Structure 1
Amino acid sequence: MDIAFICTEKLPSPAVKGGAIQMMIDGVTPFISSLYPLTIFSITDSSLPKREDDGLVKYIRFPRSTYIQDVSQEIGKHHFDIIHVFNRPKQVKLYKAASPNSRIVLSLHNEMFAEEKLTDEEALTCLNSTHAITTVSHFIKNTVLKRFPSAVKQLHVVYSGVDINQYPPIWSPIGKKIRKVCREKFDLVNKKVILFIGRLSKTKGPHKLIEAIPHIIDEHPDAVLVIVGGKWFSDNRPNNYVHFLYECASSLDDYVRFVKFIPPNKIPNIFLMGDVFVCSSQWNEPLARVHYEALAAGVPIITTDRGGNGEVIENEVNGLLIKDYKNPLEFARVINWILDQPQFGYHIANNGRKMIEERFQFSHVSERLLHVYEYVHKL
């Protein structure tokens, strides 16, 4: 099979500026390309050439302004057995027309079949042009089925994952060493670090953690909330919400610290600074990939029971789930509880690491994808 990946027009591939889709592509590429020819289309970036070919993988990059049209023209010049379109159901019709003999696989990483994003006509056109649809969670799968029950045979859940070689667990010798170095670098020695990593947006909920901090430091005066991220992946420019976060934290002295965007290849080390990782999402997450990363790093996880999060986090088994997700006092209660129970924290973190090793490495993700590709190739 000759396979093409068509990334979204938001971020380049490889994931030099982050992005869950781009990081997933980076992870599966070595496994897919070791078996089949692979071409990856993405937008251009000043740090990357317009074309690359290392003998196993071809990268073809076009400007964002003309990306969709350029990709359509390019795939028409080649024969791809499988064209995997990432998260853009509206574009399937165009790519199918450009390469009518290819099998089309669409992956959904968000609620892209919501009525406000896709009309009935657009959705049905996409379904009729697509041979299989993969979703990052059962939650996303069900958002499609609720609207289009007839799509059930096309839908396949393909969870994401991590490269565990990049994530030494916090209790390993190298993990302990990295933890010590990072905590010294960020002046966190002898602190209980509550870690948030993600985009600074209201839907991600870091303001809830800032509001919880006064109720945490009452019981744990050595606690510090470390907020890592920018308003949009590599974009550290402030907006109204970022200004709001800084304003909320202004009276909390050094108990809240902001660390701006950190490149994806540095993130595994950042996780090792934490005593607990909190995903405070207020929206229905498709299934945030930070869960896989924190699980791999061996950091105890607290997350909201929103969207697909509960599909990989089982309460009091490999993490803690918060149902009252709008309530800062509930975040404070659960964070205080886990900080009081370091042995239990280790127990759930150890369970989480084992789950990643057994089910959520990029080798597992690749196997699940290849199963879908081979299935549609036979149709």
Structure 2
Amino acid sequence: MKIAIISPGPFSVPPVKGSSVEHDIDEVSKMFGPEHQVTIYTRTCPTYPRSSFEEGRDIIRFPYKGPGPYLKRIIGDLKRRSPDVILVENRPNFVPALRRKFPSVPIYVNMHSHVYAAKWFISPEKMRHIVRLADGFITNSEYLRQHFIEKHRIPPDKVHAVHLGVDVTPYQLAKINFGVRNLRRKLGLRHDDRIMFYAGRLMRAKGVHVLLKAFRKVCEQDPKAKLIIVGGTGYGSNRMNPYVRYLHQLAKPLGDRVKFVNFIPSQEMPLYYQIGDIVATPSVWQEPFCRVNLEAMASGKPVITTPRGGIGEVVTHEDSGYVISPKEWEKELPRIWDELWSIPHLRNQMGKRALVRAKQFSWYATAQGYLQAFEKGADKRARVAAAYKKVG
């Protein structure tokens, strides 16, 4: 099967600055196997050549001067490749132009969140039109699948929930990396400090303010507790905005008990996860999936998270972590913290269960889920074509 993947444009593939969509494209496309020809369309950037052949994939890079010119360049190249299936990443509004040029090719839209189908980005009327044009949609959780079925009235058999994956190897190798000790020293951490760890963008939806307010309660009962916050306002961005200033104000009374670390590239994150004892993801919005939970679990760390969106499909309460409503964090976080440090071997046992759970989410399984969806679309189109031929 000749598979064409269209990246939305803001970053290149493989990602230089850790963008999640481009990261997913890179990882899953490696797992389609040599029997499939994979072409990835993405934007140019100073780090990579204009186009290249990497790990069994043709990666074609075009300048990004807005979605229209970018898609036009992609369509021009697609015509000479005659793909068997086209996968559009996170941009449903690309579908009409692609369908006009490729009327018989199965077209799928991989929706990484609800954002680019929201009415502020695309009108409900246009979205309904796109639903008719596309052969199917892929989501990264059952929660998001149900959202698209209910919100956009997509037929259930047209939406496929396929969980994202994780490669546990770099996260496990980081455990024996001597760089962990140096990193702790660099951050001013003592050997007996107890570290709560946050990784992600510094935005209200991620609930970092919820974590800071609850952590103040933890500090009242545990003088060894410290919080490390890794991330910036965006992928590769460390600019100060009103929300980040608010977070610093919340942390100020705690002094050196809270340490802010700027954005860290994804390839360095396995090492950073190892400085934490417990990882917190206090999301207050409906997370489609929340990759950080999976990365933390791949690192063998217990997770304290919220029941928002698709998180419950990954983290099991009181098994691989704790799933607590954001409203309960100020009350529950001190109790959970005390439990994790006072009960012998609890953190270690929960970390082991988290690792076992993470291993169930492989990129190979993700790729197989995509291929199954593509094959359904191709089979359906073949049946329709055969029926028209028979009638004719």
TM-score normalised by the shorter chain: which range applies?
Answer: over 0.9
1:299 aligns with 2:314: no
The Cα shift of 1:54 comes to 4.1
Q: Distance in 2 between matches of 1:117 and 1:337?
A: 45
In the alignment, residue 358 of structure 2 is paired with which amino acid? Answer: I
What are the within-5 Å matches in structure 2 for residues 1-379 of structure 1? 1-54=1-54, 56-65=56-65, 66-111=69-114, 112-168=116-172, 174=176, 177=178, 179-188=180-189, 189-325=191-327, 327-341=329-343, 343-357=345-359, 359-379=360-380
Q: Secondary structure of 2:9's partner? A: coil
The Cα shift of 1:178 comes to 5.1
The Cα shift of 1:187 comes to 2.5
In the alignment, residue 105 of structure 1 is paired with which amino acid? Answer: Y
Q: 1:350 to 1:157 in 2, by over 3 A?
A: same
Q: Secondary structure of 1:282's partner? A: coil
- Maintained 8 Å contact 2:218/2:333: no
Q: 1:272 to 1:299 in 2, by over 3 A?
A: same
The Cα shift of 1:169 comes to 7.1
Q: Secondary structure of 1:218's partner? A: helix
Q: Distance in 2 between matches of 1:201 and 1:211?
A: 15
Q: Which moved more, 1:185-194 or 1:333-342?
A: 333-342
Q: Distance in 1 between matches of 2:210 and 2:48?
A: 38
Q: Distance in 1 between matches of 2:139 and 2:226?
A: 36
Q: Secondary structure of 1:61's partner? A: strand
The Cα shift of 1:217 comes to 1.4
Identity among equivalent pairs (%): 28
Q: Distance in 2 between matches of 1:164 and 1:263?
A: 17
Q: Distance in 1 between matches of 2:197 and 2:55?
A: 40
Larger radius of gyration: 2
In the alignment, residue 46 of structure 2 is paired with which amino acid? Answer: S
Runs (4+) of structure 1 moved beyond 6 Å? none
Q: 1:366 to 1:238 in 2, by over 3 A?
A: same
Q: Distance in 2 between matches of 1:209 and 1:120?
A: 36
- Maintained 8 Å contact 1:73/1:98: no
Q: Secondary structure of 1:64's partner? A: coil
- Maintained 8 Å contact 1:201/1:241: yes
TM-score, with structure 1 as normaliser: 0.92
In the alignment, residue 40 of structure 1 is paired with which amino acid? Answer: I
CA offsets per residue over residues 332-352 of structure 1, 9 Å max, x none?
443343333462222222112
The Cα shift of 1:149 comes to 4.2
- Maintained 8 Å contact 1:203/1:282: yes
Instruction: Structure 2: give runs of 5+ residues left out of the alignment.
Output: 381-392
Q: 1:184 to 1:35 in 2, by over 3 A?
A: farther
The Cα shift of 1:114 comes to 3.5
Q: Distance in 2 between matches of 1:183 and 1:110?
A: 35
Q: Distance in 1 between matches of 2:345 and 2:101?
A: 57
In the alignment, residue 339 of structure 1 is paired with which amino acid? Answer: W
CA offsets per residue over residues 52-80 of structure 1, 9 Å max, x none?
12482111122222323322333233311
Q: 1:341 to 1:198 in 2, by over 3 A?
A: farther
- Maintained 8 Å contact 1:113/1:143: no
Q: 1:355 to 1:326 in 2, by over 3 A?
A: closer
Aligned residues: 375
- Maintained 8 Å contact 1:200/1:229: yes
Q: Distance in 2 between matches of 1:275 and 1:82?
A: 44
- Maintained 8 Å contact 1:179/1:272: yes
Q: Distance in 2 between matches of 1:332 and 1:68?
A: 51
The Cα shift of 1:246 comes to 1.8
Q: 1:55 to 1:277 in 2, by over 3 A?
A: closer
Superposed CA RMSD: 2.0
Q: Distance in 2 between matches of 1:317 and 1:46?
A: 44
Q: Distance in 2 between matches of 1:169 and 1:246?
A: 33
